[in-house]
Amino acid sequence: ATPTTRFTVPWELTRSDKVFHDSEEHGTLKLTSTGVLARSSNVGTVLAADKIGGATLYSYLKKFGLGSPTGLNFPGENKGSVPAPNTWSGTTFPTLAFGQGYSVNAVQAASVFATIANDGVRVAPSLVKGYVLPDGTVQQATAPATTQVVSAATALRTRPRVAGATSRPSAGSAITRTTADGRSGSTSVADSMSTATAPERASSARREPDTMCSELAMAATLAGMPSARNRPASSRALGQA
């Protein structure tokens, strides 16, 4: 797969007993994988994740460090939560694909982008670079553990997708004249008084319901999909095929 791998993206699709849709109604779109991320398309991300399946997506979420302690041993850290596959309902997989249904902390989220930028190598977060002994000698801390989450080639193909989300003017505070990785999405807020999502507090999530899991699904898709020959990216605007 490449940044120009193509998807036919309707406004909505059904998985199990749930209808999923993008934040704004549209006709059928022909998008590249880059366009899926740039447009924060829930439906497109689900279609991409369909190509690899739930088990592979889950394994990549865990390899990126989500749902596990960061290892910082910092007081009060919440390790987040990624539901195990044996607890999934019929709608869990598509929900996870576009970044809802699990929780992360700020360090975990930053680590995902750092891993993609670091040629697919995840470096365990650390707080202490070194310390000074009583005699004034500087002792370097033990080097953090590293994990090759995705190949360097996969990370290289994924970076333009992630950068595309922050470089286009409609992404809000678009960043120009430099390369920036990020996501423009948000997530739903759980109602503290019940197990349901509070509609009044989730309105912004409905307007732009995507979050950073999009690029995780795409990275996993790239790792699991064979390469395909597609038209040059220069022939498209905003990832449209």
Please give the pLDDT value at position 2. Answer: 67
pLDDT at 232 over 50: no
CB atoms within 10 A of CB 123: 14
Check if the beta carbon of residue 198 is closer than 8 Å to that of residue 190.
yes
Token pair 């680590």: residue = 111
- Tell how far CA 113 is from the center of its chain: 9
Please give the pLDDT value at position 135. Answer: 93
Residue 123's beta-bridge partner residues?
A: 146
Please report the DSSP string for 30-49 in residue order.
EEEHHHHHHTT-HHHHHHHH
3 state DSSP class of 197: strand
Token pair 């439906």: residue = 43
Return mean pLDDT, the chain.
74
| pLDDT top residue among 83 and 224 | 83
Token pair 């406004």: residue = 11
DSSP state of 115: H
d(CA 164, CA 22): 18
d(CA 182, CA 159): 10
pLDDT at 227 over 60: no
Please report the DSSP string for 81-105 in residue order.
B---GGG--TTHHHHHHTT-S-B--
Q: Which two tokens stand for residue 177?
A: 């004249």
User: Which value, to the nearest 10 degrees, does the dihedral of the CA atoms of residues 113, 118, 124, 128 take?
Assistant: -100
Model pLDDT for residues 53-96, shown as the tens digit of each residue: 899 889 989 999 999 999 888 888 899 999 999 999 999 999 98
pLDDT at 150 over 90: no
Q: Residues 6 or more apart from 112 whose CB is under 8 A from it?
A: 64, 65, 66, 212, 215, 216
